[in-house]
Amino acid sequence: MGKVVLYSSVSVDGFIADDNDQPGPLFDWLSGGDVPLDESGVLKVSQTSYDYVRPYWDEIGVTIVGRHVFDLTDGWDGKPPGGIDHVVVVSHRPMPEGWDPEAPFHFVDGVGPAVARAQELAGDRVVEVAAGDVGGQVLAAGLIDEVRMDVVPVVFGSGKRCFGSVHAQHLLEDPDVVIRGNRVLHLRHRVRR
């Protein structure tokens, strides 16, 4: 089985979006460089960020998101973002009416079954878990192996928390990766077991 990784761009004070679900400047680093991060040419980062992010993105087989993110993005029009093979959506509601059942999206009730389904689909590849409420629930369930954060130099003051509504302490190992990019600090921590 591949690793289960909670991943997000995050403000210095721990938010992934403002109170209106807007990321503000959290993704500015993805257009602040001169090295294309994907084939679209829209995302351009520093060489340092590319050398860290691109290999990781290439490892991702499945992304787990909550229904809120799915609805905010209109399900990416049925095409998983970033070339990912499958998206597992944690939802207590069924797939939207009129949704193409052939689209590589899997609606699962609960984070435990979502991780199990994602690992089945990903095989040896990485299962990425979006930060926020679902990410916090997966962390609280003890199912996260690694936390990757792209810390952006901005303070939101309030908004959507990186780990959602987690209220218990969870220890991480010391960062084994600390990389300074343009307007971003890439951090990687393993979860202490």
Residue whose pair of structure tokens reads 């351009």 in the numeric block: 44
d(CA 11, CA 8): 10
Q: What is the pLDDT of residues 10-66, one digit of tens each?
A: 999 999 999 999 999 999 999 999 999 988 889 999 999 999 999 999 999 999 999
Q: For the residues 112-132, what does the mean pLDDT come to?
A: 97
Q: Are 37 and 161 in contact (CB under 8 A)?
A: no
Q: For all residues of the chain together, what is the average pLDDT?
A: 95
Contact 88, 128 (CB under 8 A): no
Residue 68 CA to residue 134 CA, distance in Å, equals: 10
Q: What is the pLDDT of residue 177?
A: 96
User: What mean pLDDT comes out for the span 91-100?
Assistant: 92
For residue 120, what is the domain's CATH number?
3.40.430.10
The pLDDT of residue 167: 84
Q: Classify the phi-psi angles of 119: left when phi > 0, otherwise alpha if psi is within -120 to 50, otherwise beta.
A: alpha
pLDDT in tens, 168-184: 899 999 999 999 999 99
Tally of CA atoms within 13 A in the half-sphere of 92 that contains its CB:
1
Print the domain residue range for 109.
4-190
- In this prediction, residue 1 carries a pLDDT of 83
What gap in Å lies between CA 41 and CA 124, rounded to an integer? 29
CA 85/CA 77 separation, integer angstroms: 14
**Are β-strands 44-45 and 35-36 bridged in parallel, bridged antiparallel, or unpaired?**
antiparallel
What pLDDT does residue 170 have? Answer: 93
The reported pLDDT for the residue numbered 39 is 85
> Which pLDDT band, with edges at 50, 70 and 90, does 146 fall under?
very high
**pLDDT tens digits for range 53-94:** 999 999 999 999 999 999 999 999 999 988 899 999 999 998
Q: How many CB atoms lie within 10 A of CB 41?
A: 8
In this predicted model, which residue has the larger pLDDT, 89 or 1? 89
Q: What is the pLDDT of residue 193?
A: 86
Domain total in the chain: 1
